[in-house]
Amino acid sequence: MFQKLLIANRGEIACRVIRTAQRLGICTVAVYSEADQDGLHVELADEAILIGASPVSESYLDIDRVLQACQSTGADAVHPGYGFLSENPRFVHALDQAGIRFVGPHAQAIKTMGDKIASKQLAASAGVSVIPGYDGVVNTAEEAIQRAHEIGYPVMLKASAGGGGKGLRIAEDDRECREGFRRTRSEAATSFGDDRILIEKCIREPRHIEIQVIGDTHGNCVYLGERECSIQRRHQKVIEEAPSPFLDGSMRRAMGEQALALAKAVDYHSAGTVEFIADGEGRFYFLEMNTRLQVEHAVTEMITGLDLVELMLRVAAGEKLPLTQDEVQISGWAIETRLYAEDPYRAFLPATGRLTCYMEPSVGPGVRVDSGVREGDEIGIYYDPMLAKLITHGRTRNDAIDAMCGALDQFCIEGVMTNLPLLAQVMAHPRFVRGQLSTHFLSEEYPDGFAVQPLDRAGQLQVAALAAVLNCYKRKPGPEPASGNPICRVVRIEDESFDTRCTVTGADYRVQVDGVRFVVATDSHRGQVQVAFTIDGNPFDAQVRSDGFRYRISHAGVESVVTVLRSEVDALYQLMPAKELPDRSHYLLAPMSGLLVSLSAKPGQKVRAGDELAVVEAMKMENSLKAERDAIISKVHAMEGQVLEQDEPIIEFEQKTQ
Amino acid sequence: MKEIALELERRRAAAELGGGQERIDAQHQRGKLTARERLTVLLDADSFEEWDIFVEHRCTDFGMADKTVPGDGVVTGYGTINGRDVFVFSQDFTVLGGSLSEAHAGKICKVMDQAMKVGAPVIGLNDSGGARIQEGIDSLAGYAEIFQRNVMASGVIPQISIIMGPCAGGAVYSPAMTDFIFMVRDTSYMYVTGPEVVKTVTHESVTHEELGGAVTHSTRSGVADGSFDNDVETLIGVRRFVDFLPSNNREKVPRRDSGDSVERVEQSLDTLVPNNPNTPYDMKELILKIVDERDFFELQPDHAGNIVIGLARMGGGTIGVVANQPAVLAGCLDIQSSVKAARFVRFCDAFNIPIVTLVDVPGFLPGTKQEYGGIIKHGAKLLYAYAECTVPKVTVIVRKAYGGAYDVMASKHLRGDINFAWPSAEIAVMGPKGAVEIIFREDRDDEERISARTEDYRQKFANPFYAGHRGFIDDVILPRHTRTRICRSLRMLERKQLKNPWRKHGNIPL
């Protein structure tokens, strides 16, 4: 086994690899950029070494610097994690030359699988089912149409060098096919400098299902079941599970065996993932092979009881796989949700800031948290916005979902916006619970962008009961509230009002909400944001924030704004006029915090709707801000190169006079 | 007897209608509650004891003889807020525009006098068109009677003013002499002279809202200590505020024990101060993380944001917090922030409320605007207030404590009882670079030497140990333990005895 392992990564995956390595008695080295000097991975590792400035190109992506770090610390192996240098054959080559072991496949496997056409051809020759018609580059529009006829419409035209939904078009007939080919090709040439175009069948009701494989250098290779990763946004996975609710035994075996065939065809000797796309009728086709550890590997670990990082380290050190295919056992169901620092209500724009509060759910059997941050950390603009992964395991899929709902309610985060509400809402979504997934799930269920499903009556009654109790423990602080007369209050959740009576009895609260009785108990105290209650004996975790007048109670992804007032005061409150928010429609505001990389506006300038006015960069993504209507610029509030806060004004337009 | 009882009922009903249903509806139309409705919100249920509903004005001029309304435009008496007595007067805009007559003033004086005798706060709800002009000088005499009582009560019982409608001319000076002023956004305004007079005299054209609205006074002028969206939120806010206050200058605030342990460790505070000494951070995060139950009642949050003041509890007892805010103007002291904090420190001292001072101050703000504005005298107010006060003083130097501002911010030298420093503390006459450029003037053009000397200076002073050698700080504490260490100090200081020499009164640089 290795003496010293350098982890060429950051965040949760670096922490996760460090933990396994330390359990195996291997010394660990973290690398970090300037922005990460207080990072959790730096603290956890036995040694840490600064490799450069905050931008990834000057640190985590810089092969020479990572190599130097290996040499100066005497590391004899490198685990690349995912992303960054994990699928870079040049990096593997450089390590090979320096005599340092790369914990991953050999360079040739990475190279072959990294090329869409080569991997496709190899897969086909290994007997893997590939999407019809996908057998090489199409050179002319006429050829595209001919192929489309062979494959059958609808077809997808895509740039060989494309990815992440860029350079991709769907054609339903010959006319669209001809037009699509031309446009995709010219786009491919300008965007990727590579105008090779592929054509393939367009899959209806697509589901993303992938097979985890692992091989050793002794010719052994096994598959560890599948994962379904159909819940995606911006072509990035958000929720994954294992097994897939879609697969039966024979389909699972068929996919597993094809994945193995492909792995063997490239002489694969590490952990890898063969991704398939399945259609509504159960046909499945090879997409690509990822020659690294996947973000979502944890769900496979939960159902197999294996530690994939440990297996990767063992096979990389030349050991034999400790199990055969027959010994692979799948038990129960696991779900993973990815917690991102992003705004789910604004097209998932990345969010930044200081994690002023970060409390993870309590872990235990069935609940695992893989995170790379802790309270007080700064979430910057330089890296992937994933903060943590929450993984739950249960006997059945429903058990795993219930555990996930409970755990998500225990996640308390302040200072940085996250997709927590989205995760909780999807978990409670009937279609998700039925297992009727598709990679279009989010866009189909939230066609106008994510919005929270309002509480139903039962949910409102519970929140009202909780609010009635909060109001009592405000009055009678301390762990042992004194018994007393019932306290009657009107609880108002948005426009609904509820009559409540709350009596403190020993350690419990007896609450009536519109005549419905609840017994509520808690050890939480006033001022605590993350509160743990039981309502009629069932755990009810929530976040409670108060501004002195109203409570904001978050549970199951829904934030309820609640007032608790004496009935006569509540009646008077109804007389108060609603205040309108100040009109900011004549401002161009920063949609998220980030760097203003370009600004093309001068006072007095006339702009047309759709003109690009500014570009804000955050988390490696450039966001173009366009004029929403024709207007005249009256004032420019920001400068190029400035770091903007969310909602900071960039440009002010002249207001139309009424 | 029965007849009298019936008459009583009739009179009461008449008084309760104030200026009549039509005017009550008009008041509601404006988004305002009536004088009595406001007291319903402010006081505990069924706790209000009303006085003087039979009082009527005695003016007969200008047809006033037949314009009498029982109570004469102000509702007075006492009640409780979370069980503790408070005296109240609530002006009734539906009765002759809430205008102040001799009789009206007399009612207010009566509650003030009684409040002084029993030692309980007075809360005034102001909604008045001003002096009752028909009464002439009698009305002005009424104002002066109130002013005199405001001054006599100052520092004896807490006085709170809530501006819930117009408050103009001489009327502004009663609230101005109370301890705190809260305003309702969009429906209240205060000014010495209104927009019409302003227009005639200075030709400025300005709206009521711009001249004296809640936003103006809670941001620009600093006259208001807080503002709220509407009547109900304002009154509930004041209920919350009163919970932090003692009833008078001889009693302590009732302790409120909570489940929030004084031993609570806040690990995230260790990363609050950024590595770069010039990067701002939010001081309010520190405040919220060290006080009981995250419950901090900030005063003047939108005015002079470079200093943060407000009330909170630590270990169950009320404390006053004064903190430099590096997120605004680098946390420097200027005219507005000095005045804001000075008055608050004196309030705390008058009412035996211990002061917790959190320091990150790069110095006083330079410039002609400040000097011409009299920063010397205004800055001295804060220095005077801190030096004069005898309540327990616990200070934490979080980062910068430079120059004269270091002395001002409750330093050991101004009788600070316990002075802590975080490891990030830099206690010096000025920032390292500036200091070196003065001491080694001859090296000014030699960048290399300057940076070497700056590093030397930083080594020596940009840490808490030099001040520690001299005993100017009592201990260096880890940020995560700040709450515990302050709470223990405050508990020890509960029996602190300190008296200033006898004098009629000091001469604070007003």
Task: Enter the ipTM.
Answer: 0.92
Q: Tell me what the mean pLDDT of segment B437-453 comes to.
A: 84
Q: CA A360 → CA A16, A40, A347, A374, A421, distances in Å? A: 16, 15, 25, 9, 15
Q: Tell me what the mean pLDDT of segment A161-177 comes to.
A: 77
Among the partner-chain residues A356, A358, A573, the one whose CB lies closest to the CB of B232 is A573
Strand-pairing partners, residue A49, are: A31
A619 band by pLDDT with thresholds 50, 70 and 90? low
The reply to whether A357 touches chain B by the CB within 8 Å rule is yes
A464 band by pLDDT with thresholds 50, 70 and 90? very high
Residue A411 is assigned to a structural domain of this protein: yes
Q: Is pLDDT of B475 > 90?
A: yes
* Range in A110-124, A456-470, B350-364 the model is least confident about: A110-124
Domains in chain B: boundaries: 2-242, 267-425+463-493, 430-461
Do A196 and A213 belong to one domain? no
Q: From CA A77, how far away is CA A99, in angstroms rounded?
A: 9
Average pLDDT taken over every residue of chain A: 90
Per CATH, the homologous superfamily of domain B267-425+463-493 is 2-enoyl-CoA Hydratase; Chain A, domain 1 (3.90.226.10)
Secondary-structure breakdown of chain A: helix, strand, coil percentages, each rounded to the nearest 5: 30, 35, 40
Q: From CA B96, how far away is CA B131, in angstroms rounded?
A: 11
**Residue B481 CA neighbour count, 13 Å, CB half:** 11
Query: Is B72 in a helix, a strand, or coil?
Result: coil
Average pLDDT taken over every residue of chain B: 93
Q: CA B94 → CA B11, B73, B140, B165, B419, distances in Å? A: 17, 7, 21, 11, 54
Domain boundary among the residues A176, A201, A226 is at A201
Between chains, do A579 and B230 touch, taking CB under 8 Å as contact?
Answer: yes
A480 band by pLDDT with thresholds 50, 70 and 90? very low
Q: Tell me what the mean pLDDT of segment B38-52 comes to.
A: 95
B451 band by pLDDT with thresholds 50, 70 and 90? confident
Give contacts of A378 with chain B, Cβ < 8 Å. Answer: 271
Q: Tell me what the mean pLDDT of segment B384-399 comes to.
A: 97
* Lookup: tokens for B22: 């039509």
The reply to whether B186 touches chain A by the CB within 8 Å rule is yes
Residue A293 is assigned to a structural domain of this protein: yes
Q: From CA B149, how far away is CA B40, in angstroms rounded?
A: 26
Three-class SS of A522-546: ECCCCCCCEEEEEECCEEEEEEEEE
Supply the pLDDT for residue A648: 82
CATH for A637: 2.40.50.100
Give contacts of A477 with chain B, Cβ < 8 Å. Answer: 256-259
pLDDT digits (tens, 9 = 90+) for B77-127: 999 999 999 999 999 999 989 999 999 999 999 999 999 999 999 999 999
Strand-pairing partners, residue A652, are: A587, A635
Q: Is pLDDT of A88 > 70?
A: yes
* Lookup: tokens for A413: 């985060």
Task: Compare B259 and A481 and report the one with higher pLDDT.
Answer: B259
Q: Is pLDDT of A235 > 70?
A: yes
The reply to whether B192 touches chain A by the CB within 8 Å rule is no
| Options B170, B194, B305, B316, the catalytic residue | B170
A4 band by pLDDT with thresholds 50, 70 and 90? very high
Supply the pLDDT for residue A477: 39
Q: Is pLDDT of A476 > 50?
A: no
Among the partner-chain residues B33, B268, B297, the one whose CB lies closest to the CB of A376 is B268
Helix intervals (H) in B309-431: 335-350, 368-372, 375-388, 403-408
Among the partner-chain residues A477, A524, A576, the one whose CB lies closest to the CB of B231 is A576
The reply to whether A355 touches chain B by the CB within 8 Å rule is yes
Helices A397-409 and A420-427, axial angle in degrees (round to 10) = 150
CATH for A18: 3.40.50.20
Instruction: Quote the pTM value.
Output: 0.88
Q: Tell me what the mean pLDDT of segment A78-107 comes to.
A: 95
Q: Of B29, B41, B184, B276, which to mutate for an interface test with A (greatest number of A Cβ within 10 Å)?
A: B41
Domain span at residue A550 reads: 457-573
* Range in A537-546, B39-48, B119-128, B436-445 the model is least confident about: B436-445
Q: Known catalytic residue: B19?
A: no
Q: Known catalytic residue: B373?
A: no
Interface contacts A/B by beta carbons within 8 Å? 90
Q: In A80-163, which ranges are E strands?
A: 101-102, 155-163
Q: Least CA distance to A38: which residue of chain B?
A: B271
Q: From CA A293, how far away is CA A309, in angstroms rounded?
A: 8
Among the partner-chain residues B233, B271, B285, the one whose CB lies closest to the CB of A377 is B271
Q: How many CB atoms lie within 10 A of CB A190?
A: 10
Between chains, do B268 and A548 touch, taking CB under 8 Å as contact?
Answer: no
Residues of A annotated as catalytic are 288
Q: Of B236, B273, B286, which to mutate for an interface test with A (greatest number of A Cβ within 10 Å)?
A: B236
The reply to whether B278 touches chain A by the CB within 8 Å rule is no
Q: Is pLDDT of A620 > 70?
A: no
B31 band by pLDDT with thresholds 50, 70 and 90? very high
Q: Tell me what the mean pLDDT of segment B123-133 comes to.
A: 92
Minimal CA–CA distance to A182: which of A150, A154, A142?
A142
Supply the pLDDT for residue A479: 40
The reply to whether A478 touches chain B by the CB within 8 Å rule is yes
Minimal CA–CA distance to B464: which of B421, B429, B435?
B421
Residue A596 is assigned to a structural domain of this protein: yes
Q: From CA B363, how far away is CA B370, in angstroms rounded?
A: 13
| Options B119, B169, B305, B316, the catalytic residue | B169
Q: From CA B298, how far away is CA B305, in angstroms rounded?
A: 11
Residues A500 and A488: beta-carbon distance below 8 Å:
yes
Among the partner-chain residues A477, A529, A549, the one whose CB lies closest to the CB of B233 is A549
B30 band by pLDDT with thresholds 50, 70 and 90? very high
Q: Is pLDDT of A447 > 70?
A: yes
The reply to whether B269 touches chain A by the CB within 8 Å rule is yes
Supply the pLDDT for residue A134: 58
Do A547 and A515 belong to one domain? yes
Q: Which amino acid is at B355?
A: I
Would you call the peptide bond into A243 cis, given omega within 30 degrees of 0 as the criterion? yes
pLDDT digits (tens, 9 = 90+) for A40-54: 999 999 999 999 999
A135 band by pLDDT with thresholds 50, 70 and 90? low
Between chains, do B285 and A356 touch, taking CB under 8 Å as contact?
Answer: yes
Do A159 and A291 belong to one domain? no
Supply the pLDDT for residue B89: 97
**Dihedrals phi, psi of A50, to nearest 5 degrees:** -75, 130
Residue A115 is assigned to a structural domain of this protein: no
Helix intervals (H) in B373-464: 375-388, 403-408, 432-439, 447-461
CA angle A374, A380, A382 (to 5 degrees): 125
Supply the pLDDT for residue A166: 62
Q: Show which of residues 567-596 on chain A sit within 8 Å of chain B, judged by CB atoms.
A: 568-569, 572-573, 575-577, 579
Do A497 and A520 belong to one domain? yes
Do A275 and A367 belong to one domain? yes
Between chains, do B230 and A577 touch, taking CB under 8 Å as contact?
Answer: yes
Q: From CA A496, how far away is CA A635, in angstroms rounded?
A: 43
* Range in A386-390, A400-404, A622-626, A636-640 the model is least confident about: A622-626
Three-class SS of A550-575: CEEEEECCEEEEEEEECHHHHHHHCC
Q: Least CA distance to B43: which residue of chain A?
A: A569
Q: Of A360, A526, A543, A579, which to mutate for an interface test with B (greatest number of B Cβ within 10 Å)?
A: A526
* Lookup: tokens for A263: 């792995």
The reply to whether A329 touches chain B by the CB within 8 Å rule is no
Residues A557 and A425: beta-carbon distance below 8 Å:
yes
Supply the pLDDT for residue A70: 95
Q: From CA A70, how far away is CA A115, in angstroms rounded?
A: 29
Do A424 and A477 belong to one domain? no
The reply to whether B184 touches chain A by the CB within 8 Å rule is no
Share of chain A above pLDDT 70, in %: 96
Q: From CA A453, how far away is CA A431, in angstroms rounded?
A: 14
Residue A649 is assigned to a structural domain of this protein: yes
Q: Is pLDDT of A94 > 80?
A: yes
Helix intervals (H) in B133-230: 137-153, 173-177, 195-202, 208-212, 214-215
* Lookup: tokens for A173: 């007939």
Q: Least CA distance to B37: which residue of chain A?
A: A572
Q: Tell me what the mean pLDDT of segment B26-54 comes to.
A: 95
Among the partner-chain residues A378, A565, A575, the one whose CB lies closest to the CB of B33 is A575
* Lookup: tokens for B233: 């939120």
Supply the pLDDT for residue A133: 67
Between chains, do A568 and B40 touch, taking CB under 8 Å as contact?
Answer: yes
pLDDT digits (tens, 9 = 90+) for B408-437: 999 999 999 999 999 999 998 888 888 888
Q: Count each helix (H run) and each strand (E run) in chain B, helices first.
A: 19, 17
Query: Is B101 in a helix, a strand, or coil?
Result: coil
Q: How far apart are the first and last CA of chain A?
A: 77
Q: Do domains B2-242 and B267-425+463-493 have the same CATH topology?
A: yes
Residues B105 and B124: beta-carbon distance below 8 Å:
no
Among the partner-chain residues B237, B268, B292, the one whose CB lies closest to the CB of A375 is B268
Residues A291 and A105: beta-carbon distance below 8 Å:
yes
Q: How many CB atoms lie within 10 A of CB A151?
A: 19
Q: Known catalytic residue: B405?
A: yes
Minimal CA–CA distance to A643: which of A347, A352, A349?
A352
What total number of domains does chain A contain?
Answer: 5
Q: From CA A239, how far away is CA A438, in angstroms rounded?
A: 12
> Positive or negative, the Cα torsion across A134, A136, A141, A147?
negative
Q: Is pLDDT of B26 > 50?
A: yes
Q: How far is B135 from chain A (nearest CA, A)?
A: 34
**Dihedrals phi, psi of B112, to nearest 5 degrees:** -65, -45
**Dihedrals phi, psi of B441, to nearest 5 degrees:** -55, -35
pLDDT digits (tens, 9 = 90+) for A633-653: 888 888 888 888 778 888 888
CATH for A314: 3.30.470.20
Q: Is pLDDT of A136 > 80?
A: no
CATH for A165: 3.30.1490.20
**Strand A77-79 relative to strand A4-7, pairing:** parallel
Q: From CA A634, how far away is CA B298, in angstroms rounded?
A: 36
Task: Compare A251 and B69 and report the one with higher pLDDT.
Answer: A251
> DSSP states of A1-45 as a string?
--SEEEE---HHHHHHHHHHHHHTT-EEEEEEEGGGTT-HHHHHS
Do A473 and A426 belong to one domain? no
Between chains, do A376 and B295 touch, taking CB under 8 Å as contact?
Answer: no
Q: Is pLDDT of A198 > 80?
A: yes
Supply the pLDDT for residue B321: 98
Residue A450 is assigned to a structural domain of this protein: no
pLDDT digits (tens, 9 = 90+) for B149-183: 999 999 999 999 999 999 998 899 999 999 999 99
pLDDT digits (tens, 9 = 90+) for A344-397: 998 888 898 999 999 999 998 899 999 999 999 999 888 989 999 999 999 999
CATH 3.40.640.10 fits B2-242, yes or no: no
Supply the pLDDT for residue A656: 62
| A338-352 burial: b if 16+ Cβ within 10 Å, else e | bbbbbbbeeebbbbb
Q: Is pLDDT of A481 > 60?
A: no
Q: Tell me what the mean pLDDT of segment A126-131 comes to.
A: 90
Between chains, do A572 and B232 touch, taking CB under 8 Å as contact?
Answer: yes
Cβ-proximal residues to B233 (8 Å cutoff; 6+ apart), any chain: A549, A576
Between chains, do A525 and B297 touch, taking CB under 8 Å as contact?
Answer: no
